Structure 1
Amino acid sequence: MGERAFVVTQSIKTLNAQDRQWTLDTKGFKSLYDDKVVDPAEISKDDKTIYYKNTPYTPKDLPQRLIITYSPKYAKYRKSIREKQVKRAKLMLERGSTKKERRNPNDPARFLGSIAVTDDDETANVYNYLNTEKIDEEAKYDGMYAVSTDLLDDNVSEILSISEKRWQIEECFRIMKTEFEARPVFLQRTDRITSHFLTCFLALIIYRYLEKFLEHKYTCE
């Protein structure tokens, strides 16, 4: 690859069984700042430190490093998102508005299961239910983030600095869309569309300043 190098996001769920098991094992995590070994289960949820562990990773005969990070702040964020989706899934059950097709991996309907019950020679009745096993399975990945890179000897903190802001960017887009209702846009004139997005963006800036001023004690909800 010459002088080129890469740092890319790696889906933990698509790792092979051995690497995925290593990822979810709480052993081996270190503080990014002093390399002190820690157990994520004993870390305060308000801790803003980033923890990591890494291992050689060679998919398709390309030597790489697999770096797993754990962030209590990111764990708190993912848990908050999932709890809202579970709440929506429960409403879908109550209203009987479950979907047959679930193409979006973030669709709340993914937390719903179905079971067919029938008596002999009768048409099966399908019952939907909240799949708590699915919820618990996703919770295992809270706070985890993975990247793979061919920078085998570089400092971990330098590598992570390239990608550490990605989930914060994701959160900004989510807040813009859900809390500030940036989309969908029911406008036609260009100046009004521009004004709408400008208002949402300014609201996001003000929210971030308030969040910092209030020491992250509250959320936009």
Structure 2
Amino acid sequence: FDTSHTYFDCTNFYFEIDREDDFRKKGPSKENRKEPIVGLGLLLDANQIPIGMKLFPGNQSEKPVLRKVIDDLKKRNAVSGRTIQIADKGLNCAENIFHALKNGDGYIFSKSVKQLPETEKVWVLLPNDYKDVKDAEGNTLYCIKECVDEFEYKFTDSETGSLKKYKITEKRIVTFNPKLAKKQIYEINKEVEKARLLKASQAKKSEYGDSAKYVIFTPVDKKGNDTDGRVKVTMNEELIKKSLELAGYNMLVTSEISMGAREVYTAYHNLWRIEESFRIMKSQLDARPVYLQKENTIVGHFLICYLAVLLTRLLQFKILKNNYCSEDLFEFIRDFRVAKISDRKYINLSRGTEFIKDFSTLCNLPLTSYFLSDGEIKKMLSHRF
């Protein structure tokens, strides 16, 4: 496997049980479930092939999992070369950056523009230095600009509990996507309108849901003085304005100073392969809900799912040369059927598709034949890639 780049992300799986145990814990669910969950971290190599997996209790932070999986991978496979760790903003923290650099690795992480200091937000919003990236027809896909500067990080060491500070030279890349901006502005306005309507109807705080972030709840009495009694509701107009201003903007931070901005952008956006791997587990492989109780059997269940995804990716990338998506492959697996009509004869009940035609030619198998002999069936079942 190629560890020049490694992609990492986490998801979680719910269990339809009422009580927690040492492994299945209640925590922040990706699907907003209230049941106990187990977290799963997945590591891909530069070719988007799964090369590592780690399970952890659902109430634990996923940030340390990145460090553990990378360390385990290097130790288990005697990997001594440098790897660029690529992950989203949920895994971007000062300790992960420190750990990567300490081990001689690099990183490409996304970073929330909303949490930047005001001086950096000003730089993001300045129209200077942005370059348009266009498609073949001349339409603007996104705008991009970059800078290299020295930045300070600090964190509380998870092992010693001591506060650590360090400065590094880092490249920061900002993109503005007009389509994303339009989508986010629509979503912000929708939440703001919901909050205004709830405010007008004097709704309870619990009814606001996600729109509560655009509202300030202040306990006041009839004279407007702070108290533990009634709650005064006001719209957070400053936050609304800032959210609308930053719609469509994204930031990437990286240790790779010599990499071009578009090269960093392209490398980061291969993370969608991990999201697709999670979708394969949850939909095609029915990985959840999980009806197992013991930790070792739960681990075994997800190991089988991991191996299935690994084999799918190897077939998709190494055999099919990435010409077909995973949905084509699973459709073939589900729908290919034959019926026995005599002792030594079968008929092919499958619907002909471009995938089956190409797969048949590639593997030299009679997948498109209507009548199949006993020998041809045995040839299919014994085929080795």
TM-score bucket of the superposed structures, by smaller chain: 0.5 to 0.7
For residue 212 of structure 2, what is the amino acid of its counterpart? A
Q: Does 1:85 align with 2:203?
A: no
Q: Percent identity?
A: 21
Q: Which residue of 2 aligns with 1:216?
A: none
Do the aligned partners of 1:65 and 1:152 also contact (CA within 8 Å) in 2? yes
How much has 1:87 moved relative to structure 2? 2.5
How much has 1:101 moved relative to structure 2? 11
The change in CA–CA distance for 1:136 and 1:165 in structure 2 (over 3 A counts) is farther
Q: Which residue of 2 aligns with 1:107?
A: 210
Q: Which residue of 2 aligns with 1:94?
A: 200
**How many residues in Structure 1 have an aligned counterpart in Structure 2?**
162
Q: Which structure carries more helix by proportion? A: 1
User: 1:9 pairs with 103, 106, 110, which one?
Assistant: 110
How much has 1:141 moved relative to structure 2? 0.5
Q: Does 1:74 align with 2:166?
A: no
Q: Secondary structure at the match of 2:185?
A: helix
Q: Does 1:54 align with 2:160?
A: no
How much has 1:129 moved relative to structure 2? 3.1
Partner Cα distance (1:108, 1:122) in 2: 24
Do the aligned partners of 1:98 and 1:109 also contact (CA within 8 Å) in 2? no
For residue 197 of structure 2, what is the amino acid of its counterpart? L
Q: Which residue of 2 aligns with 1:162?
A: 267
> Please, which moves more after superposition, 120-129 or 67-76?
120-129
Partner Cα distance (1:149, 1:95) in 2: 47
Q: Which residue of 2 aligns with 1:141?
A: 246
How much has 1:4 moved relative to structure 2? 2.7
Q: Does 1:20 align with 2:110?
A: no
Q: Runs of 5+ in structure 2 lacking a partner?
A: 1-100, 152-165, 276-288, 292-326, 328-385
Partner Cα distance (1:121, 1:96) in 2: 19
Do the aligned partners of 2:133 and 2:140 also contact (CA within 8 Å) in 1? no
Partner Cα distance (1:166, 1:79) in 2: 25
Partner Cα distance (1:156, 1:20) in 2: 19
Q: Runs of 5+ in structure 1 lacking a partner?
A: 35-46, 171-187, 191-201, 203-221
Q: Which residue of 2 aligns with 1:207?
A: none
Q: Which structure carries more strand by proportion? A: 2
How much has 1:91 moved relative to structure 2? 3.1
For residue 132 of structure 1, what is the amino acid of its counterpart? E
Partner Cα distance (1:151, 1:26) in 2: 24
Return the TM-score normalized by structure 1. 0.58
How much has 1:134 moved relative to structure 2? 2.2
For residue 123 of structure 2, what is the amino acid of its counterpart? W
Do the aligned partners of 1:5 and 1:151 also contact (CA within 8 Å) in 2? yes
How much has 1:166 moved relative to structure 2? 6.7
**Which structure is higher in RCO with an 8 Å CA cutoff and minimum separation 6?**
1
Return the TM-score normalized by structure 2. 0.35
The change in CA–CA distance for 1:129 and 1:49 in structure 2 (over 3 A counts) is same
Structure 1 vs Structure 2 CA RMSD: 4.0
Do the aligned partners of 2:145 and 2:261 also contact (CA within 8 Å) in 1? no
